[in-house]
Amino acid sequence: MEAGGFLDSLIYGACVVFTLGMFSAGLSDLRHMRMTRSVDNVQFLPFLTTEVNNLGWLSYGALKGDGILIVVNTVGAALQTLYILAYLHYCPRKRVVLLQTATLLGVLLLGYGYFWLLVPNPEARLQQLGLFCSVFTISMYLSPLADLAKVIQTKSTQCLSYPLTIATILTSASWCLYGFRLRDPYIMVSNFPGIVTSFIRFWLFWKYPQEQDRNYWFLQT
């Protein structure tokens, strides 16, 4: 096998493995909901936004004919749907959750109607859909910045997950390389903020280590 072909296979495999690993992180929330028969300490919004992200990239991959994007985001969308249904089942306030889900479906229908009916040119449709997916993914990576500000303010990394940070940087780096190999700026640029925010989190873990974190909270009590 040529070096280029081996490198491509390595990058493709990394994208699939690391991304599916991140999507599978919700299985712990699913297990928690089943065991406690409640949604305590489980956030619904990440399931919903990840579902939109998966469906957007799935459409982009289908339009582009990209098998890696299709496989990864099909599995991701199926898992997010499972998490959403489980949350709906165990959530006592179903009206709010149903309203959020219905809003999501409405936005998706409007989006599909726009891209498939009002943008007849396939190339223009691919570019506009890629731009939408890229902006949405970047907004998801930047959304935890409030948590990073909280860490600096409280000098505590309690609200950050070290394993999730590692998974994020591995996944983001894999997709950046994937986009670079394909010369696809939408894939490459959209995942770069994930690398940046991950390095910021690593710096915060170094600046406020776990031992210091425990001492801080002990002094606060």
Q: What are 164-219's pLDDT values in tens digits? A: 888 889 999 999 999 999 999 999 999 999 999 999 889 988 888 865 444 443 44
Question: What is the pLDDT confidence band of residue 39, given thresholds at 50, 70 and 90?
Answer: confident
Domain total in the chain: 1
- 3-state class of 30 per DSSP? helix
| 217 falls within a domain | no
| 221 falls within a domain | no
H/E element, 218: helix 210-220
The parent domain of residue 172 ranges over 2-207
Q: b/e map of 166-197 (b: 16 or more CB within 10 Å)?
A: ebbbbbbbbbbbbbeebebebbbbbbbbbbeb
* Nearest CA-CA partner of 173 in 49, 56, 65, 19: 19
| 220 falls within a domain | no
| 213 falls within a domain | no
The amino acid at 48: L
Is the CA virtual torsion 132, 135, 141, 143 positive or negative?
negative
Question: What is the pLDDT confidence band of residue 2, given thresholds at 50, 70 and 90?
Answer: low
| 143 falls within a domain | yes
| 216 falls within a domain | no
The pTM assigned to this predicted structure is: 0.84
Judge whether 14 and 170 are in contact, CB under 8 Å: yes
pLDDT of residue 164: 82
| 93 falls within a domain | yes
| 20 falls within a domain | yes
Burial of residue 46, with CB atoms counted within 10 A of its CB: 0-12 exposed, 13-18 middle, 19 or more buried = middle
pLDDT of residue 216: 41
